[in-house]
Structure 1
């Protein structure tokens, strides 16, 4: 196959992974509590847990989502008792977001689950070297940058 043909196949493969991931993300799951959470909620909990304390602006930067979308997500998590939201005593205009004890439980469960799942995937990728992974990361990063640029131009 030519370089162009291989690249076309790579792009089709990436689109297929994206479609399957989208379906996978749309199924609610339990992450160590009785609450059913969508993957986007679990990943938001991970971002908050990784930062310990954060705010809407920081989450907006980390996720490339709007402040409104992040606020809605955080409000859902507050209603589920997974996140606390309160005014920063040092800056009354800033709202601090952190995990509750229950949110911490989801965070730890999800981190352990990711570790297990990633290990399974890594075992299936034995034929690929660290260098192969680094090249794929570089390609993915370039594709993400190009896609972000396209979004800005819309």
Structure 2
């Protein structure tokens, strides 16, 4: 195995990161038909996933969790509501606090997406099992740096 200098390592890491982002961007444009003719986009699945995992989150906290604006979540929630996947609910103690609840169909979509993730995550789990906790911490630090870097780029 070739020994790489730091500049080469940084270049490889950044180029790989860009490729991953480009592929993720392309995937975001590909809808999935769950068999009933209703097409769901990955961005819609992301919201369904958060609502299914964290039913206590309101629209603002869902937006924060996904790293998007509250307006974007509000628009997506409208689309998901029209498709019969979620319904909006206001909390009794604060009428401005809008929550999302999965419908029966939304719960089915959540379970389908969860099963897909579990099958895709097998390879990642296999890799992580071979790494030390210290190595995983280093990997997470690099991921967090990528996120901060993208945050800075979005501000410019």
TM-score range normalised by the length of the shorter chain = 0.7 to 0.9
SS at the partner of 1:97? strand
Q: CA RMSD in A?
A: 2.2
Note if contact 1:82-1:99 (Cα within 8 Å) is conserved in structure 2: yes
Pairwise CA distance, 1:130 = 4.1
**Which of 87, 90, 94 does residue 90 from structure 2 map onto?**
87
Farther off after superposition, 48-57 or 103-112 = 48-57
Farther off after superposition, 41-50 or 114-123 = 114-123
User: CA-to-partner distance for each residue in 1:22-81, whole Å, 9 max, x for gaps?
Assistant: 112211113475422111101110011111243211112112211111100000000000
Q: Distance in 2 between matches of 1:33 and 1:10?
A: 41
- Map 1:1-154 to 2 at 5 A: 1-31=4-34, 34-123=37-126, 125=127, 129-131=131-133, 132-152=135-155, 154=156
**TM-score, scaled to structure 2:** 0.85
SS at the partner of 1:72? helix
Structure 1: which 5+ residue stretches go unaligned? none
SS at the partner of 1:54? coil
